[in-house]
Amino acid sequence: MIPMIDLKKQLQDIKDEAFNVLRDIVGSGQFILGQKVSEFEKKVASYHGLREAIGVASCTDALHLSIDALDIGEGDEVITSPFTFFATVEAILYTGALPVFVDVEPDTLNIDANLIEENITKKTKAILPVHLFGHPADMWNIVDIAKKHKLKVIEDCAQSFGAGINGKKTGSFGDAGCFSFYPSKNLGGCGDGGMVVLDNSKVAGRIKELRNHGSRGSYRHKRVGFNSRLDEIQAGILLIKFLHIDEYNKKRRHNAEIYNRLLPDIIKHPVEKEGSYHVFHQYTIMSPKRNKLQQKLKENGIASVIYYPVPLHLQKALKFLGYQKGDFPIAEKAARQVLSLPMYPELEESSITKIAEIIRNVV
Ligand SMILES: *Cc1c(COP(=O)(O)O)cnc(C)c1O
């Protein structure tokens, strides 16, 4: 059996440190917004070359609180990708703003910057690119468009911790970078967690209030906020894993190279654009024979997942937005053809060889 991801293996390697940190935290009696969270925030901010990082309960909340803190809400529009995880759009809707979809690039499946300007209206307040599967979105162009039209940029970096373009990390291009520490992400905790990184201390202050019931402490509430905090236990584990994140990503890249070498050319391989550093949260191929491939892999005990089978504009829950089939042909084709294969730092070459062989036999 080859799984999509093996979380036990990664934790096994840091087990002693992890148990030590858990013992310390349990002994300290400090569980929410304590020393570990502050230390982790400082490290993640500095890793991105930014002044501020705010630990929150999830990336969904990181996005929601960022949009809110940037003063975007009812009556506003946020331009984003129809080919992403549902949470990207939930976060926009929580604030009262509406998502406006723009089709994706056929190669990276990230939002197509060339299609953004024609979708900007008087109501547009922000662009929310997603660095899908760990490949950076077209950030230089997106930031240029945002500057020209005075829009905010909020980056969904849930799948892209450590990715970048020309040495600049995803999350540091826009007004706020939003990360997930969900266990299966490139930097994953032992539970839910998220973080916003940014440079603007005024906006950071607002997010710090929002995560804590609209208060900076001492039971004085400036506004109605939320309960969305990263806890000490997650921060403790994440501090340990953070030491290894670049190495984990390098191993993912190495595994992607092996896949690229062994998979037949008739299968569409994931691309890495010039100057981009892809961290392969997923290794996702495209093929018209996707369903047959998945079936054969399954018969051979190999996991694979379709991220994502239905683009967001065709989701039942978003019917009220008024989109129709055919509105975003590239996203729709992707939904028909994508297949993500097992990918994690500890994945063995022999497993990749086996997977590639099965795929070769089908196509
Ligand atoms: C996982 C994910 C999220 C949500 O992250 P949580 O921490 O689970 O809330 C948002 N956007 C994308 C693209 C994701 O992959």
Which ligand 1 atom lies nearest to the CA of residue 84?
A: 13
Ligand 1 geometric centre to CA of 194 (Å): 9
Ranges for all domains in the chain classified under CATH 3.40.640.10: 7-102+110-242
At 153 the pLDDT is: 99
Ligand 1 geometric centre to CA of 65 (Å): 14
Which ligand 1 atom lies nearest to the CA of residue 193?
A: 7
Model confidence pLDDT, tens digit, residues 287-338: 999 999 999 999 999 999 999 999 999 999 999 999 999 999 999 999 999 9
- For tokens 């973080």, name the residue: 195
Ligand 1 geometric centre to CA of 33 (Å): 22
Which ligand 1 atom lies nearest to the CA of residue 60?
A: 9
Model confidence pLDDT, tens digit, residues 27-50: 999 999 999 999 999 999 999 999
Tokens, residue 81: 């990708």
58 lines ligand 1 (CB under 6 A): yes
CATH domain 7-102+110-242 topology: Aspartate Aminotransferase; domain 2 (3.40.640)
Q: How far apart are CA 118 and CA 156, in angstroms?
A: 22
Ligand 1 geometric centre to CA of 294 (Å): 24
Pocket mutation for ligand 1, best pick of 64, 182, 281, 282 (most atoms within 8 Å of C-beta): 182
91 lines ligand 1 (CB under 6 A): no
At 73 the pLDDT is: 98
At 62 the pLDDT is: 98
Give yes or no for a contact between 346 and 322, defined as CB atoms under 8 angstroms apart: no
Q: How far apart are CA 360 and CA 169, in angstroms?
A: 35
Ranges for all domains in the chain classified under CATH 3.90.1150.10: 245-362
85 lines ligand 1 (CB under 6 A): yes
Ligand 1 geometric centre to CA of 213 (Å): 23
Task: Please check the confidence at residue 361 and state whether its pLDDT lies above 90.
Answer: yes
- Choose among 100, 166, 109: nearest CA to 135: 109
Model confidence pLDDT, tens digit, residues 240-271: 999 999 999 999 999 999 999 999 999 999 99
- Choose among 248, 299, 344, 255: nearest CA to 1: 299
Ligand 1 geometric centre to CA of 94 (Å): 15
Question: Could you tell me the pLDDT band of residue 218, with boundaries at 50, 70 and 90?
Answer: confident
When pLDDT is averaged across residues 258-285 and rounded to a whole number, the result is 98
Q: How far apart are CA 26 and CA 64, in angstroms?
A: 30
CATH domain 245-362 topology: Aspartate Aminotransferase, domain 1 (3.90.1150)
3-state SS, residue 301: coil
When pLDDT is averaged across residues 65-78 and rounded to a whole number, the result is 98
Ligand 1 geometric centre to CA of 189 (Å): 13
At 214 the pLDDT is: 96
- For tokens 């998945």, name the residue: 294
pTM of the predicted protein model? 0.98
**Cis omega (within 30 of 0) on the bond before 283?**
no
3-state SS, residue 123: coil
At 340 the pLDDT is: 98
Ligand 1 geometric centre to CA of 157 (Å): 8
Which ligand 1 atom lies nearest to the CA of residue 87?
A: 10
> DSSP state, 283?
E
Model confidence pLDDT, tens digit, residues 138-165: 999 999 999 999 999 999 999 999 999 9
When pLDDT is averaged across residues 275-282 and rounded to a whole number, the result is 98
87 lines ligand 1 (CB under 6 A): yes
At 318 the pLDDT is: 98
Which ligand 1 atom lies nearest to the CA of residue 182?
A: 7
When pLDDT is averaged across residues 224-231 and rounded to a whole number, the result is 97
> DSSP state, 251?
H
Task: Please check the confidence at residue 217 and state whether its pLDDT lies above 90.
Answer: no
Q: What percent of the chain has pLDDT over 70?
A: 100
Mean pLDDT, the chain, integer: 97
Task: Please check the confidence at residue 87 and state whether its pLDDT lies above 90.
Answer: yes
Q: How far apart are CA 168 and CA 194, in angstroms?
A: 21
Which ligand 1 atom lies nearest to the CA of residue 185?
A: 1
Give yes or no for a contact between 314 and 323, defined as CB atoms under 8 angstroms apart: yes
Tokens, residue 125: 């307040």
